[in-house]
Structure 1
Amino acid sequence: MNETIQDIASVIRANSSFLITSHESPDGDAVGSTLALASFLRKSGKEVCVHLRDQVPDLYAFLPGADTVAHHIPDRDFDVAFVQDIGEFSRAGEEFCSFKRIGTLVNLDHHLGCDSFGHHNLIDPQAAATGVLVHRVISALGGPMDRDTALCLYVSIITDTGSFRYSNANTEAFAIAGEMIGYGINAWDVAEQLYENQPRKRLELLSKCLPTLEVISNGRAASVAVTLDMYAVTATDAELTDGFINYPRSIRGVEVAIFFRQLSEQRYKIGFRSKGKVNVAGFAASMGGGGHHNAAGCTVDGTLDEVKAKVYAIVESALC
């Protein structure tokens, strides 16, 4: 057994109060992995608070424990804090980053280049999702595993592997998903919740986004954008943009997809996705961001045209 996992297991056994957090704008892995660990710890008799800076997306509201997530940290001491799927510590949000009433800090992550900011750091870029690392910790402790915990782990893994379509879908990911099915998870029910249950307004926003499609680098890269004006016209927000980047990514011949999401008048969040040949973490890192080989992001200031020019120049220089 990995020595770090042994150390983390010992920390869990020896302590009683836990704070768990993940990154801003949480995705399926962030929500699934935090709720899975929380479910496991509670069933082990521990006291747990799950904190996320932003709301749990409606897409994941069906997960057990989603309704217990706190958006402000209670003013009290915690024996242990788990920081999961973070990439970089600042993405936990200002409130958590400035919170000092923690005994031991544990970092679980699978991002390339994640800093070892915890007292214990389980960082494995080969893990398909942070939920995989949570599963390793639970396995080291011998359970208990039940349907609630299994459902959260399953969602963590299938969302971060694109339902096993991405290159990170390795044998460990398939094995854990299969094990979770054994705890009573219905794969179709989960798929229906995730992929056949979208609000009408998401399609209205998508209808504004798709006409922004641009293909560059002789067809090897493509982008779409969402602006504040689009949110205003459709009465939507950024939560409904999850998955929009997969549309340019799906184009034949495209190796890199780019998503420009406006945050304020002069600021854009940039998402990158690769089909496997190109390491997009390098693009993001060159602009102060980070991520995985196949999925990364950063924030860039300027008008949309200025931001596009900067991003396209970096992408095209790498693809030429």
Structure 2
Amino acid sequence: MIEQIIAEIAACSSFLITTHENPDGDAVGSSLALANHLRRLGKDVTVHYCDPVPDIYRFLPLADTVVPSIPDRDYDVCFVLDVGEFRRAGKELAGFKRIGKFINIDHHLSCEEFGALNLIDSQACATGALIYRIIKAAGHEVDYDTALCIYTAVITDTGSFRYSNSNPEAFSIAGEMIARGVNAWFIAERLYESQPRQRLELLALALATLEVSPRGDLAAIAVTLEMYEKTGTNAELTDGFVNYPRSIRGVEVAVFFREIEPGFYKVGFRSKGKVDVSSLAANFGGGGHHNAAGCNMAGTLDEVKQTVFARLQHVM
């Protein structure tokens, strides 16, 4: 499959690159890594996200070129990265007809094969690792700008090498990116030590909603639209919130309820390994990885919580 993708890159000249809604570090890192690499090859590249680039990733090369709307023109290929499901790339892409073919690159366990070519490896630590494999298989060196993006993809999706997907390839890629000139402290400072004060104010409100099950193996927090209004924040600043209930001793599954619009919630699941939360999310029309998954649910916060907690009782 990688050889076929390399052949498409060589044969084509215009590329659209996109990823999922509310892009995380792997989504941004992998898409900008690919964009930097393709531009270095002299290709015509457009990067489109249906949601803005989160502030903490705007230091990455080409982050300032990401467009909110797809230009009305033809593209030979559209790379769709890290989405799991095609719908997560946004409604605009779904209705855009001026694309020759789709290439789907992903590491989600339950990924749709919607592309003409589908490079899916659930054992990969991050989609950024798959972009790395493509570049190396083509016989190209990873330049500094691309290395910054790949390193960011890997370090964020492995939780700074704390998650179970921190496999030998993850450490090997990170080591090579550092050898290419990436400064680990430079990245860590921008990702973890440059938070706006409002994020901590929002986190304080979220932690006040903490619930822990009687057995201590399930914990949950929530963020509502009212909290955003009170702190002057938005969903962009909630990245990583689910890790706080997950960090409690004895907790096996953490749940993060995030209100998207009145009566509609994004539910994020994180597991320490004993529970497959991708199967859990699939029961509610979502998906993801064994240890990290999510879905969308309608109802009041109490109703959504009751439904999720009742299901969790059957699998824990």
Place the TM-score, normalised by the shorter chain, in its bin.
over 0.9
The answer for the alignment partner of 1:171 in structure 2 is 168
Gaps of at least 5 residues in structure 1 are none
Q: Does 1:225 align with 2:195?
A: no
Superposition map of 1:83-232 within 5 A: 83-216=80-213, 218-232=215-229
Which residue in 1 is equivalent to 2:311? 314
State how many pairs are aligned. Answer: 316
The separation in 2 between residues aligned to 1:242 and 1:118, in whole angstroms, is: 28
SS in structure 2 of the partner of residue 107 of structure 1 = strand
**Aligned equivalent of 1:33, options 16, 30, 52:** 30
What is the TM-score when the length of structure 1 is the normalising length?
0.98
Structure 1 residue 144: deviation in Å? 3.9
Aligned match of 2:75: 78
SS in 1 for 2:308: helix
Distance in 2 (CA, whole Å) between partners of 1:289 and 1:80 is 27
Residue 295 of structure 2 aligns to a residue whose secondary structure is strand
What is the CA-CA distance between 1:274 and the residue it aligns to?
Answer: 0.7
Once the two structures are superposed, residues 220-257 of structure 1 have per-residue CA deviations (whole angstroms, 9 ceiling, x without a partner) of 11000001111111111111111110100000000100
Two-structure CA RMSD over aligned residues (Å): 0.7
The residue aligned with 1:305 is: 302
- Residue 290 (str. 1) matches residue 290 (str. 2): no
Contact 1:40 / 1:143 at 8 angstroms: preserved in 2? no
Whether 1:8 aligns to 2:5 is yes
Give the AA of the match of 2:64. D
AA aligned opposite 2:75: F
Residues in 1 aligned to 2:221 and 2:181: alpha-carbon distance in whole angstroms: 39
List per-residue Cα deviations over 1:127-175 (Å, max 9, x = no partner): 0100011011111111142110000000000000000000000001110
Aligned to 1:47: 44
Rounded to whole Å, the distance in 2 between the matches of 1:70 and 1:141 is 28
| Structure 1 counterpart of 2:274 | 277
Q: Which residue of 1 aligns with 2:252?
A: 255
Could you tell me which of 48, 54, 58 is aligned with 1:57? Answer: 54
Following TM superposition, where does structure 1 have runs of at least 4 consecutive aligned residues deviating by more than 3 angstroms?
A: none
| CA–CA distance in structure 2, aligned partners of residues 151 and 277 of structure 1 | 33
Return the letter of the residue paired with 2:176.
E
Q: Give the drift of 1:316.
A: 1.4
Distance between the aligned counterparts of 1:264 and 1:156, measured in 2? 29
TM-score w.r.t. the length of structure 2 is 0.99
Q: Distance in 2 between matches of 1:110 and 1:21?
A: 15
Aligned equivalents of 1:143, 1:103: Cα separation in 2? 25
Counterpart CA distance in 2 for 1:13 and 1:217 is 58
Structure 2: 5+ residue stretches without partners: none
SS of match in other structure, 2:290: coil
3-state SS of paired residue (1:259): strand
Aligned-partner residue type, residue 154 of structure 2:
I
Give 1:105 deviation, angstroms: 1.1
- Name the SS of the counterpart of 2:208 in structure 1: helix
| 8 Å Cα contact 1:44-1:144 kept in structure 2 | no
> Following the alignment from structure 1 to structure 2, what is the Cα–Cα distance between the partners of residues 57 and 113?
25
CA distance in 2, matches of 1:40, 1:308: 44
Rounded to whole Å, the distance in 1 between the matches of 2:275 and 2:34 is 33
Percent same amino acid among aligned pairs? Answer: 64
Distance (whole Å) between structure 2 residues aligned to residue 294 and residue 70 of structure 1: 31
Q: How far 1:104 moved relative to its partner? A: 2.0
C-alpha deviation, 1:217, in angstroms: 5.5
Quick check: 1:43–1:144 contact (8 Å CA) kept in 2? no
Report the Cα distance in structure 2 between the residues aligned to 1:135 and 1:217, rounded to whole angstroms. Answer: 44
Deviation at 1:216, TM superposition (A): 1.4
Distance 1:120 1:265 in 2: 38
